[in-house]
Amino acid sequence: MKPLLTKTTKPFLIYVLIVLMISIPVYYFVVDTIWKNELDEHNQIIVEKTAYEFNQLQLSEEALNKSLELWNHIQPETSIERISPSQVKQDSIYTYEKHLPFISEQKKERYRCLKKVIYIHGKPYLFTIQTNIEESHETIAVIALITIFFFVVIVLGLLYLNRKLSSSVWKPFRSTLDQLKTFNLNSQSTIEFPASDTAEFEELNQSLYKLIERNVSTYKTQKEFTENASHELQTPLAIIKNKLDILLQDQNLTEKQYRIAEDMNRALTRSSRINKNLLLLAKIDNNQFDSSEIISLDLLLHQSIDILREHFEQKNISVTEHITNEVQVRGNNILAEILINNLLINAIRHTAVGGSISVQLTHSVFEVSNSGTEKLNTDFLFKRFSKLSTDNSGSGLGLSIIQEICRFHKRSVNYRFENQHHIFSVKL
């Protein structure tokens, strides 16, 4: 990803480069035109001044002819020739190229020419004057060098200005962005954006204030509802379960009535488990657990494996243990125990009869792997009430609780499928 200023700078530089490249022939055409006009004006002045000076001399016919012959000899780029009145024509201005014999280089020079009829002592003369024009390739080379120089100046100046603008003009925006990155709905803390004299940034801050206020209000309402609903449901669920237990002990129940009551009891047990898990999630979201306890993970893991040993034996699951001693972390002891139990129970539930489970604990990672046939859908893996198998005995919240406990302890849980084994790992 690229910064906003970089995205705007690149098209601007390309645009400037194109404009400057187009400007080179335009500069040449304009400069060449101006140069030709100046030469035409210069030639015109030379012709008129020469005619005026000859008329002022008041020379005789013979002396005038000698003077003109001398002029044509010492002024190689000009010539004055006597013409008859019938040869008088309009002024002629043109450009042509010719090779100079006294220059060794094989190149042609451009000349701007003027042919004009002048009158000396009342007689017509054709005045021809030629003035050298600057070489075109030299002009283009100079213009190109100047253009490249200014392009480099523009690029360096733009990069410098962008860096300065990025640290000053965009400072309020970056401060707002940093505030949003650190904001957490669970913390219930207010957020204060820095004041800005830029209208767009101030409008953004005000819109964010309103958005965050609505989200916080909605989040609090949802949390209160979940917590209250879960808490208030505990009592009636416990009463119903107690009544069902008494009913199941009644000797007068028929077999059909007993099956119905047993199904109701299983559904009620699952509902009670879901309710407890939702209440646990609400408490985690509300930061109602202490996170400063010293947890001996190896002891908790041995304890959980011993408790669940009967479940391993019921499904004939082989368990491989690689547990490092004295693995201690800081956090909440109750949540750590729930995390371990949920990972082990999840592995037992989704391991076929005769399968295998491996438990590994080091100072850097805690892993639980179980044999399987195909990779789970990672898009729905940690979502609440998502069904990744046909087993309906779970609450659908086990992996969500695992993820929330890891998030509470500022750790991460990851899933991968290798060698026909589902592997859940928690970085310590």
Q: What is the mean pLDDT of residues 275-286?
A: 77
Q: CB–CB of 406/339 below 8 Å?
A: yes
15-24, 136-145, 282-291, 333-342, range with greatest mean pLDDT: 333-342
Q: Is the pLDDT of residue 390 over 60?
A: no
Q: What whole-number distance in Å separates Cα of residue 274 and Cα of residue 276?
A: 5
Every domain of the chain with CATH number 3.30.450 lies at 4-159
Q: Which is nearest to 369 in space by CA: 417, 315, 303?
A: 417
Q: Does residue 372 contact residue 422 with C-beta atoms inside 8 Å?
A: yes
Q: Domain 200-285 maps to which CATH number in 1.10.10.10, 1.10.1760.20, 1.10.287.130, 1.10.520.10?
A: 1.10.287.130
Structure token pair of residue 123: 């007689």
Question: Is the confidence at residue 336, as pLDDT, over 80?
Answer: yes
Compute, in degrees rounded to 10, the torsion defined by CA atoms 322, 328, 330, 334: 60
Pair 193, 208: CB distance under 8 Å? yes
pLDDT tens for 22-79 read 887 888 788 888 888 888 999 999 999 999 998 888 888 888 888 988 888 888 789 9
Q: Write the pLDDT tens digit of every residue in 217-272.
A: 887 777 777 767 767 777 787 888 888 888 888 778 888 888 888 888 888 887 77
Average pLDDT estimate for 135-156: 79
Domain with CATH 3.30.565.10 in the chain: 293-427
- pLDDT for the residue numbered 2: 63
pLDDT tens for residues 84-129?
888 888 889 988 887 766 565 667 778 889 999 999 988 999 999 9
Find the DSSP H helices in 315-362. 333-349
Contact 426, 339 (CB under 8 A): yes
Asked if 328 contacts 294 with a C-beta cutoff of 8 angstroms, the reply is: yes
Portions of the chain given CATH number 1.10.287.130: 200-285
Record: fold of 293-427: Heat Shock Protein 90 (3.30.565)
300: number of Cβ within 10 Å:
18
Residues 116-127 pLDDT 10s: 999 998 899 999
Query: Of 274 and 256, which is predicted with more confidence?
Result: 256
Owner of token pair 């204060």: 192
How far is the CA of 257 from the CAs of 80, 239, 262, in angstroms?
137, 20, 9
CATH of 4-159, one of 2.60.40, 3.30.70, 3.40.50, 3.30.450: 3.30.450
Residue 87 has what DSSP assignment? G
Q: Is the pLDDT of residue 292 over 80?
A: yes
Q: What residues contact 52, with CB distance under 8 A and at least 6 apart?
A: none
Query: Residue 136 has what pLDDT?
Result: 61
Q: Are 425 and 414 in contact (CB under 8 A)?
A: yes
The overall pTM is greater than 0.85: no
